[in-house]
């Protein structure tokens, strides 16, 4: 939906992007003290109301998130 701007449920192309803001209360707190927050962007289908949410992958967020991923034991699950 984000890349194609086509609804994943009804295949409509009437999809708008609603950018989140850094002051939004729906942001996701992260970091050691949870002082940073990840901004979410929304993609909304105007035909069926389907909504997809994406976290904005800023360099700062990715730096923190990659560390969490390295710590998690789910890493490597994708080889069989
Ligand atoms: Zn739709």
Cα 25 to averaged position of ligand 1 atoms, centre (Å): 26
Residue ranges per structural domain of the chain? 15-71
Cα 57 to averaged position of ligand 1 atoms, centre (Å): 25
- Contact yes or no for 35/63 (Cβ under 8 A): no
- Contact yes or no for 14/45 (Cβ under 8 A): yes
Cα 36 to averaged position of ligand 1 atoms, centre (Å): 33
Cα 20 to averaged position of ligand 1 atoms, centre (Å): 20
Burial of residue 42 (CB within 10 Å: 0-12, 13-18, 19+) is middle
Per-residue pLDDT of the chain (80 residues; tens, 9 = 90+): 999 999 999 999 999 999 988 777 788 999 988 889 999 999 999 999 999 999 999 999 999 999 999 988 766 666 55
Q: pTM to 2 decimals?
A: 0.77
In sequence order, the β-bridge partners of residue 28 are: 38
Beta strands 40-45 and 51-55 are antiparallel
Cα 7 to averaged position of ligand 1 atoms, centre (Å): 5
Cα 46 to averaged position of ligand 1 atoms, centre (Å): 7
User: Which contacts qualify for 36-40: CB closer than 8 Å, 24 or more apart?
Assistant: 36/60, 36/61, 36/64
């Amino acid at each position: 939906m984000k890349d194609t701007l086509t609804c994943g449920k009804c295949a409509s192309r009437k999809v708008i992007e609603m950018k989140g803001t850094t002051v939004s209360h729906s942001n996701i707190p992260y970091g050691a003290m949870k002082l940073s927050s990840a901004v979410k962007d929304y993609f909304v289908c105007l035909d069926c109301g389907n909504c997809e949410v994406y976290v904005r992958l800023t360099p700062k967020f990715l730096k923190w998130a990659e560390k969490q991923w390295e710590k998690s034991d789910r890493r490597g699950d994708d080889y069989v």
